[in-house]
Structure 1
Amino acid sequence: AGDVIFIHVTLVPFIKAAGEMKTKPTQQSVAKLREIGITPNIIICRCEHSMNTELRRKISLFCNVPFEGVIEEKDVEHSIYELPLVFQREGLDQLICKLLNMEDRPSDMSKWQDVVRSIVAPHSSVRIGLVGKYVKLNDAYKSITEALYHGCIANDSRMELVKIDSEEIERNGTGVLENLDAILVPGGYGVHGTEGKILAAQYAREHNIPFLGLCLGMQMAVVEYARNVVGLKDANSTEFYSDLKYPVIILLDKDFKPIARVDKKYDHNNSSDSCSPKDGTLRLGTYDCVLKDGSKAKSLYKQDVIHERHRHSYEVNPDYLAQLEKDGNFIVSGISPNGKLVELIELKNHPFFMACQFHPEYQSKPHNPHPLFKAFVSAALANKKK
């Protein structure tokens, strides 16, 4: 007792035909839990309308939960980030402390209040284009979307997110990118839609539109620069083609030596986005990244070494770095501690053009946005004001 509590989240639906809320689904789900030996201490009731005292007492009685343990979670008006404030008003924090025999100290929710205020009544707005391969799937890029919202909260701004299918750009050109304040190209796998991502990176570079590339998005930005600035017209990634004249993106083994891809060309007629490397090494988890002195990245992070999460196999080919950096515009601003792997790139002569091999979205929080997303939204706002 006092070590563990069970909190059960359940639905209390409103039946329009009956004109009332029904507790039967809650009673049934609690009964099923008891069959496997779990008795809830707290029941959080998701609902469209406010629950009256009679309804709460009914749930308390038939589910054998104290009246104060029946917590209302009514649909919020603006954002899920309103919920911590809702739960505090319901006394959930005090109840949890009581059940766990913990000291109940006053909660400072000022940061959450600031977050909600920025969402409910922002002082500005920004239009950001997300150029991806899976935009038709509603939950795709969820972490990136939330990280962008965090960046908007920090900049007291509302975001209009425009999801753009990268294959549409391949078919119809870059007209869909007009009237955007910034462009983000996320990760992905396989060749499908990659030329659209390359075109998006080129459009952002040539039109001075703030750009942020993540994982594959960074790789395609490197390919674009190699093709259109350095002059390596057939540059591409060995993830898609095994026989390339300019393989600027390649597989590296554990000793950081190039690995040949599976000995066949990518099947363009195959709808699958899988492309398995031969003896490839998946770089998975948190790794250190050393930031370059004087770079925009270092000015944003305000650190010499950062720690970011990764999930990828392909890398920027180190054999082409000298050509990429020759003009002084292309800068490798973040690199692995051994100096072998490119982690961050940026363009010196661009308002904001940054791309990273890692996934910064996984470390972003509503009241502590990731520096890259915060700066990206700030750059988008500056671009809008031009």
Structure 2
Amino acid sequence: MSTKYIFVTGGVVSSLGKGITAAALGRLLKSRGLKVANQKLDPYINVDPGKMSPLQHGEVFVTDDGAETDLDLGHYERFTDESLTRSSSVTSGKVYWQVLNRERQGDFMGGTVQVIPHITNEIKDIIMRVGKEKDMDVVITEIGGTVGDIEGLPFLEAIRQMKWEVGQENVLYIHVTLLPYLKMAGEIKTKPTQHSVKELRSIGIQPDILVCRTEYAISQSVKDKLALFCNVKPGAVVQNIDAATLYQVPRLMQEEGLDSLVCKMLGLPDAPADMDDWYAMVDRFLALKEKVTIGLVGKYVDLHDAYLSVAEALTHAGIAKDVAVDIKWIDSGELTGENVSAQLKGLQGIIVPAAFGERGSEGMIQAAHYARVNGIPYFGIGMGLQAAAIEFARNVLFLEGANSTEFDENTAHPVVYSPEGAVDEAGLADSMRLGAYECRLASGTQIAKLYGTDKISERHRNRYEINTAYCEEFNKAGFIPVGIEPKTCMVEAMELEGHPFYIGVLFQPEFKSRPNRAHPLFAGFVEAAKAKKA
């Protein structure tokens, strides 16, 4: 069977949930026994989101092969339970970079390099590469931005050409739009969707299916009107109504018949979807009554998307442990020794996620101290581990001024540092440690018991690490290095003896958590928080 290509575009406004629609459809098709891969095309000129502000772009999701990607790839992986690759995240910057490098190398034999065909050909090659990498049955590609954005035109032109290049029977276009409800008129309005489809058709793409985001159920008469005016088949208008949780979306899409419609249009086997486990997980989540409150101490708490995978991993752990997790968002930049008790009082757990830069670092150190001395479950990720190490060095080892060289280059006690040569003059470059690395866990430790093994692989996005010159002092005082990267002997994880749960890791385990298979560290952390409340 030829690989089938599904393209998901968006219209009217941004942030409609194209990524969730693409992820939900991927889950439904996979449950029918199909091999499915998701992909995101983003029109911004940045080569990747790695150096973009979380306040603008949300979190940077990292794949096993070390790609820094858009946060939608996290949705794709969580829904389909498939590990994606760098080919699954494409930006205009990456496309132009590759084409210009080929031009510099003379690959075009002195010919004029143009958007069509050179840029569009590169985009098509990247799209088809995803299907070829693992011999996929279906590739679902989300086009970032909104139809009508000038920067998205090369991507739209490329997917227009795809229909004729791989065969129109192998390509399907899904357009996600908004149906606004005007309260004063008491009506759902279809005109914005009609105009969005007109814009799409003006560049040669006729959508096959409309997925309409709405706050209220759409009547059949509204669906029939949209089908007529937007030139789609009757029955090809699907409502995507607001849900209590994003994990409900596959069920809502299936109830609308989206997966059956896609299979019929693409000539895919219309086998029954096996979604029982997924729906049972959603039902458990919606039925949760007991609650624990976890304090998330971070630098970007005004934008929750900056910690999207952490928040979702906590939700997954709550489902696994039959408890609803209520996150209290705490700005580390405003946390001080004077207000830390008032800010963190009443929490059943404290988590400090990954971050870069000095701003807010002292607040994270205060949070680690408060959790340590008050017996509150603490989970430090990346900088969360570094904050715990600095706090312990200052207050238990009595190393005055202990710090990270990221915050104080001249610290007398660099308990956190970057090995010589690992950071360029600007402190940035491509020195980041990215992707999956192996880690060996000390047997009999709390972290090894949670994993159920002493050999793990986790994804990283870090530049700074624990200075092994201080490991002996840490070990003697009870803050033990329990996870080691075997090739470099880098400290990957530490845990505090005699504490209910005080674990810090250099890697970012949230990237591998799944809604129906919580990550063991998050599950252990939430279980400890539940016990703390009891």
Residue 358 (structure 1) aligned with residue 510 (structure 2): no
Q: When the two structures are superposed, what TM-score results if normalisation uses the length of structure 2?
A: 0.66
More helix per residue: 2
Judging changes above 3 Å, is the alpha-carbon distance between structure 1 residues 295 and 195 closer, same or farther for their aligned structure 2 residues?
Answer: same
Contact kept, 8 Å, 2:485 with 2:492, in 1: the verdict is: yes
Aligned equivalent of 2:445: 295
State the distance in 1 between where 2:214 and 2:385 align. Answer: 43
In the TM superposition, residue 7 of structure 1 has moved relative to its aligned partner by: 1.1
Residue 15 (structure 1) aligned with residue 182 (structure 2): yes
Equivalent runs, 1:51-130 vs 2, <5 Å: 51-76=218-243, 78-130=244-296
- SS at the partner of 2:235? helix
In the TM superposition, residue 202 of structure 1 has moved relative to its aligned partner by: 1.0
Structure 2 unaligned runs (5+)? Answer: 1-167
Cα shift readout 1:163-187 (whole Å, capped 9, x = no counterpart): 1112322162332111000000112
Contact kept, 8 Å, 1:174 with 1:200, in 2: the verdict is: no
Equivalent runs, 1:1-386 vs 2, <5 Å: 1-76=168-243, 78-170=244-336, 172-253=339-420, 276-277=426-427, 281-327=431-477, 329-385=478-534
- SS at the partner of 1:242? coil
State the distance in 2 between where 1:224 and 1:94 align. Answer: 56
State the distance in 2 between where 1:278 and 1:322 align. Answer: 30
Contact kept, 8 Å, 1:344 with 1:357, in 2: the verdict is: yes
State the distance in 1 between where 2:445 and 2:344 align. Answer: 28
State the distance in 2 between where 1:49 and 1:173 align. Answer: 43
In the TM superposition, residue 278 of structure 1 has moved relative to its aligned partner by: 7.7
In the TM superposition, residue 123 of structure 1 has moved relative to its aligned partner by: 3.8
State the distance in 1 between where 2:486 and 2:460 align. Answer: 15
State the distance in 2 between where 1:208 and 1:49 align. Answer: 47
- SS at the partner of 2:495? strand
In the TM superposition, residue 260 of structure 1 has moved relative to its aligned partner by: 8.6
The total of aligned residue pairs comes to 366
- SS at the partner of 2:306? coil
Contact kept, 8 Å, 2:423 with 2:431, in 1: the verdict is: no
Judging changes above 3 Å, is the alpha-carbon distance between structure 1 residues 261 and 100 closer, same or farther for their aligned structure 2 residues?
Answer: closer
Cα shift readout 1:13-60 (whole Å, capped 9, x = no counterpart): 111222111111111111111122222111101111111111101111
In the TM superposition, residue 339 of structure 1 has moved relative to its aligned partner by: 4.5
In the TM superposition, residue 307 of structure 1 has moved relative to its aligned partner by: 1.7
- SS at the partner of 1:139? helix
Q: Report the RMSD for the aligned CA atoms in angstroms.
A: 1.8
State the distance in 1 between where 2:291 and 2:259 align. Answer: 34
Cα shift readout 1:329-373 (whole Å, capped 9, x = no counterpart): 222221112242111111121111111111111111211121111
Contact kept, 8 Å, 1:183 with 1:212, in 2: the verdict is: yes
Cα shift readout 1:237-266 (whole Å, capped 9, x = no counterpart): 000111111100111146xxxx7996xxxx
- SS at the partner of 2:511? helix
Letter in 1 for 2:482: S
Aligned equivalent of 1:271: none
Contact kept, 8 Å, 2:214 with 2:239, in 1: the verdict is: yes
In the TM superposition, residue 279 of structure 1 has moved relative to its aligned partner by: 7.7
Letter in 1 for 2:284: S
- The percentage of counterpart residues that share the same residue type is 45
Contact kept, 8 Å, 2:211 with 2:240, in 1: the verdict is: yes
**Which deviates more, 39-48 or 166-175?**
166-175
**Which deviates more, 115-124 or 191-200?**
115-124
In the TM superposition, residue 65 of structure 1 has moved relative to its aligned partner by: 1.1
Judging changes above 3 Å, is the alpha-carbon distance between structure 1 residues 55 and 280 closer, same or farther for their aligned structure 2 residues?
Answer: closer
Contact kept, 8 Å, 1:221 with 1:355, in 2: the verdict is: yes
Judging changes above 3 Å, is the alpha-carbon distance between structure 1 residues 261 and 51 closer, same or farther for their aligned structure 2 residues?
Answer: closer
**Which deviates more, 92-101 or 115-124?**
115-124
**Which deviates more, 188-197 or 206-215?**
188-197
